[in-house]
A and B are shown apart, each in its own frame.
Chain A
Amino acid sequence: MNDDDLAFADIVEQQRLLARKTISSLELTNLYLERLETYGEVYGAVVTILHDRARREARRADRERARGRVRGPLHGIPYGAKDLLATPDAPTTWGAAPFRNQRFDFDATVVRRLDDAGAVLLAKLAMVELAGGFGYNDADASFTGPGRTPWNAAFWSGGSSSGSGAAVAAGLAGFAIGSETCGSILYPATACGITGLRPTYGRVSRHGAMALCWSLDKLGPMTRSARDAEIVLRAIAGADPADPTAVDAPFPAARRRPRIAVLRNATKGCMPAVARNFNASVKVLATFCDVTTGVALPPFPYDETVDTIVRAEGAAAFRALIESGRARTLRQKDDRIGGYVGYETRAIDYIDAQRQRTLMTAALREAFGAYDAIVAPTLPTVTYPVGAPFDSVYAAFDGNPNLIAPGNLAGLPALAVPNGFGEHGLPTNLSFLGTAFAETRLTAIGKRYQQLTGAHRARPALVTVIAAPSVPAVG
């Protein structure tokens, strides 16, 4: 196995090599540190590389293994954390210039749990400033510059967990932790051609994570396979006295033959390749699932609801930044004023948005509760080009009935897996929306799907220099 094979191996395979002593955790860590140095900045994926901490944790893992102590499937596996998770070793920047020197003196609960599981923290990974809460409209929205997908560096790696997506896709870490308020795991998982798991709201503690929107924020794994995502989720899940929303909840067993439903009009308004790849995916799913077609998304004002909640809670979360006038130092021009718009959100609108959520949650349970998963393309298009406003491209593809806002508003889990490639050689992806706290039913479907298909094993051809910046022509 060469270095590339090792860097792109999934957690299960890496753990097998560690157990056989084919490689040590320190050797694996050094390989990833070197790749982060070589490619991290090229793809706008890294804020801080934690050389000392990573090597210290890797040596500890190797010492313990030599003594016969293996903490679990993540023992000695190197990973990266979105730079909204507190650690004492480096600044925690939230992707934003006003916070580039911010420091915390503790590890976020998720980081501590991964440490307890024996994992090795390699780096703090780049993200869209303030997780995108102020309404950015192009890819250049982080103080570290635009994130670029390893599949085509002229295009965005997605947001807001940009670096987490790019690092996993480029083989710069064994896995990564991302966060999602409304799409920030699923979008970069699509843009980067990796597997992303958004857990149920409350499954994973957010203590030590930047708050954008208390009633929507979740943390979750970004990985090279569905089986990896489940391994990481099991390590980070559970109640935490420091986060009153976090609970202990069982992981339900998978069904022998899962029941899935294809969302009505799932491919309407999608790019041809997105539709083609999705239809091919459904044929594969039908070989081991009972498939119902044409299940409709209950009609609600999902976009208006999520926009209102994110604006209001985001303005409260960053009230000090807004009132100080320092929002002017944010990178993206719309972010410099978006906080002021949020500041003027009416209380009555915020409350009505939360009232809509009560109705939506009940309606989604009624419409989807009989199924293990609702499937649809994660996004109607491939990812956006770097350098063009998002609302200036792909106007011909007005979008399918998107599950991202409904799923987040109802607090439901979702698994996104790559299912092929489309325009400009960019990845496409499909999502499974599940029932509350039934993530393992989603990963069971994802694992079987990935046993039968190969998109998740594809590797990008990496570059060390970005060609002269130009905005690619897109429809």
Chain B
Amino acid sequence: MPDEPAPSDAALALARGMRAFDAALTDAQLVEIARGIDRSRAAGAALSPKKKRLANSVEPLTAVRIPGEPV
């Protein structure tokens, strides 16, 4: 596999915060978490790209049902 790019400083800062949950996370694991956060941000950017924003009218897919009530 080709070498992956270094994670962003912002993602690395978020990753370091995970040591609050597991102090034993290694530096290498933090780098992997940060890379994952960067990939997650890139995916998020693709969901409403600057050149083709989702229209204001597009609602999220939701299906709220009240048990016992007619749909």
Interface of A with B (CB < 8 Å)? Answer: 135, 215, 241, 244-245, 247, 301, 303-305, 307-308, 311, 322-325, 327-328, 334, 336-338, 340-346, 348-349, 351-359, 361, 389, 391-392
Contacts and interface: CB of A to CB of B under 8 A. Distances in A.
B33 A340 contact: yes
B47 interface: yes
A340 B18 contact: yes
Contacts of B32: 334, 337
A338 B67 contact: no
A354 B33 contact: no
Contact of A349 (B15, B44, B68): B44
Contact of A391 (B1, B23, B68): B1
11 contacts: A215-B61, A241-B67, A304-B46, A325-B22, A337-B33, A346-B40, A349-B41, A349-B44, A352-B44, A352-B54, A389-B1
B60 A327 contact: no
Contacts of B15: 340
A392 B47 contact: no
B58 to A, nearest CB: 5
Which of B37, B44, B61, B62 has the most chain A CB atoms closer than 10 A to its own CB? B61
Contact of B40 (A327, A345, A351): A345
Contacts of B50: none
Contacts of A354: 60-62
B33 A341 contact: yes
A311 B33 CA distance: 13
Contacts of B44: 304, 308, 345-346, 348-349, 352
Contacts of A336: 29
Chain B interface category by residue count:
20 to 34
Given A340-B21, A346-B44, A356-B47, 7 more contacts: A244-B67, A328-B22, A340-B15, A340-B33, A343-B18, A355-B48, A355-B54
Contacts of B65: 244-245
A337 B16 CA distance: 12
B29 A304 contact: no
A419 B68 CA distance: 44
B59 interface: yes
What are the nearest 5 A-B pairs in CB distance?
A349-B44, A341-B36, A325-B22, A354-B60, A304-B43
Interface of B: 1, 14-15, 18, 21-25, 29, 32-33, 36-37, 39-41, 43-44, 46-48, 54, 58-63, 65-68, 71
Contacts, number: 102
Contacts of B60: 351, 354-355, 357-358
Contacts of A353: 47
Contacts of A327: 22
A305 B61 contact: no
Given A356-B54, A358-B59, A344 B47 contact: no
A352 B48 contact: yes
Contacts of B18: 340, 343
A349 B46 CA distance: 9
Contacts of B54: 352, 355-356, 359
Contacts of A355: 47-48, 54, 58-61
Given A245-B63, A352-B54, A301 B36 contact: no
Nearest to A334: B32
Most buried by B among A244, A342, A359: A244
B24 A328 contact: yes
A352 B21 contact: no
Nearest to A241: B67
A308 B62 CA distance: 16
A359 B58 contact: yes
Contacts of A322: 21
Given A344-B37, A349-B43, A355-B54, A324 B21 contact: yes
A355 B59 CA distance: 5
A430 B62 CA distance: 31
A361 B59 CA distance: 12
A448 to B, nearest CB: 34
